[in-house]
Amino acid sequence: MNEPTRLTYEQLAPIVAALYRREKAALAGAGFLLPPFPDCPTCGQSPTELRTGGDHPAHFLEDRIGFGFRPCGHTFTAHGEDLYRAYEHARMEAP
């Protein structure tokens, strides 16, 4: 299994923004009309599934969160603080 790629804040922000839009649409009852997942930063493929957390327990101690894109299988980690900042940013930007 490949080592996950570390995302910088600049790489993380658009992913978090896309996830936030999806979550918001889901809460509003969008069902199958959800906005798409963000493209994989490595290969540009549009994922059918994006898993977060859990996969890399070793990173838990340094406050890193894992992302796994499926089906391409690329994995990434992001710093917990960057994730929080990106989420707050997405929340402020959203209409």
Sites of contact with Zn ion (CB under 5 A): 40, 42-43, 72, 74
Nearer to Zn ion, 14 or 24 (CB): 14
Nearer to Zn ion, 14 or 85 (CB): 14
Rounded-to-integer distance, Cα 74 and Cα 70, Å: 7
In the complex, what is the shortest distance from the CB of residue 49 to Zn ion, in angstroms, rounded to a whole number? 12
In the complex, what is the shortest distance from the CB of residue 27 to Zn ion, in angstroms, rounded to a whole number? 27
Rounded-to-integer distance, Cα 21 and Cα 7, Å: 20
Residue pointed to by tokens 């978090």 = 16
- Give the neighbor-by-neighbor strand order of the sheet with 75-79: 5-6, 75-79, 64-70, 49-52
In the complex, what is the shortest distance from the CB of residue 37 to Zn ion, in angstroms, rounded to a whole number? 11
Nearer to Zn ion, 75 or 90 (CB): 75
